[in-house]
Each structure stands twice: as C-alpha cells, then as structure tokens.
A = this chain, B = another copy of it.
Amino acid sequence: MTDLIVWTWDWVPNGPRGHVRDIRLRWALEEAGLPYLVRTMPIANRGADHLARQPFAQVPFLQDGDIRLFESGACLLHIAGKSEALMPRDPEGQADTLQWVIAGLNSVEMVTVPWWFIGLKKPPENPLDGWMGQRLQRLQDVLAARDWLAAGRFTVADILMADILRVPALRRQLGPYPALQAYLDRILARPAFAKVLQDQLDHFAAADAARAAT
C-alpha cells in the first residue's frame, strides 16, 4: 500500500501553530494506524500549482495514490472509509457518522469560524455571539446525554467536532457549556491527539530552525 500524503504549509507564524487543519488528517490517520507522509507547500507563493490542488489557496490536501482531495472534511470522510477505527461499517453507523461530520462543518463550524474571523478585529460586539451561543447550547444538549457524537462510539465525527470546538475553547467561550468542555477534554485526551499536536508544532519549529540556519 502506498503511504497517504498529507500536504500542509512549509511554515506559518506562531498564532495558527497547532491549529492548521492538517492536524485533523494526521489525527485520523494515527487513530486508524494508517501510514502517511507529510509534505509541504510554500505559504509565501500560492501560485497556479497550489490552486490546481486547492482552489481556495488553503491547506490541507490529501494524496492517496491517484486520488487527490482538498477540504479537511472531505479528506476525513475519505480516510474514514479506509478504517473501521474511524467509522462503523454498517449503513446506520455510517449514516450517523456522516451526518455528524457534516453537522460539524455546516452547523457548528459555519458559525464558530466566522465568529472567530470577525473577532480578530476586536469589534465592540460580535454580531454572531447569539447564534454561536444557540448552536453550542444545542450541541451541549446532545453531548450532555452521551459520550460520543455518532454510533455510540468514537468516530471521525468526534475528531472533527473536537478540533472545531478548540477555537471557541481557546477564546474562553465554553464556560456556559460544561458538557461541551467535558466532551472536548475527553476527546483531546486521546494519545493520538497529543502526538499529532506535538508533530505539527515540531514541524513548524523545524521550519523556524531551517530559516535561522540560512
């Protein structure tokens, strides 16, 4: 089997380190025990070569033999199709996992990321505060009653949702949602997350060292 290849940036400033979305792919691949390599694209030069692989000029993207995929959510679903560790094989379990992956992307992250983006400019009021609170409350109502999002077990949907929740957690928004905080702590306590977080931090630290040496 050819190793999967996760593409990320060659370097990023300190702010996003630990949060670049290749971490989602690395995490899923570790949980699945699938071999993979990490390769880089130059962040300073997002030319035609980059846009041909990621039309929105972002990372990550994934290479699996002849198959190339961008969008972290799509990459996660593709990887999940390769390993029962990430998604059950029965149709009901697959559908449940799929719906919660999409809920992460389109019901939760669709609010949290624009909320974060707007907050970068530190406006007196964030027009998405109320909507984000509603979505986090709904999600807490779900997770107050069970340990995992989908299929009664850990799935790729938990990887994605936990990474999504890291953003409001970093901005101290989870205080009113103790069941969400407990869920996040539980998922992030998995050894695979600790490993890939350190791997990503090491990756960018090595880039710093290489720059300093030239």
Contact = CB atoms under 8 A, between A and B. Distances in A.
Interface in A102-151: 102-103, 105-107, 109-111, 113-114, 117-118, 121, 123, 127-128, 131, 135, 138-139, 141-142
A70 interface: yes
A69 B109 contact: no
- The residue among A70, A72, A105 with the most chain B CB atoms within 10 A of its own CB is A105
Interface in A19-66: 51, 55-58, 66
Interface residues of A, number: 44
A109 B73 CA distance: 14
Given A74-B98, A117-B128, 19 more contacts: A51-B138, A55-B138, A55-B139, A56-B107, A56-B138, A57-B138, A66-B92, A67-B92, A69-B99, A70-B103, A71-B102, A71-B103, A73-B102, A74-B102, A78-B98, A105-B105, A110-B110, A118-B128, A127-B127
Contacts of A98: 69, 74, 77-78
Contacts of A113: 110
Q: Determine chain A's interface SS by DSSP, over half rule.
A: helix
Interface of A: 51, 55-58, 66-74, 77-78, 91-92, 95, 98-99, 101-103, 105-107, 109-111, 113-114, 117-118, 121, 123, 127-128, 131, 135, 138-139, 141-142
A127 B118 contact: yes
Which 4 residue pairs are nearest across A and B when measured between Cβ atoms?
Answer: A114-B114, A74-B102, A71-B102, A74-B99
Number of copies of this chain in the oligomer? Answer: 2
B107 A71 contact: yes
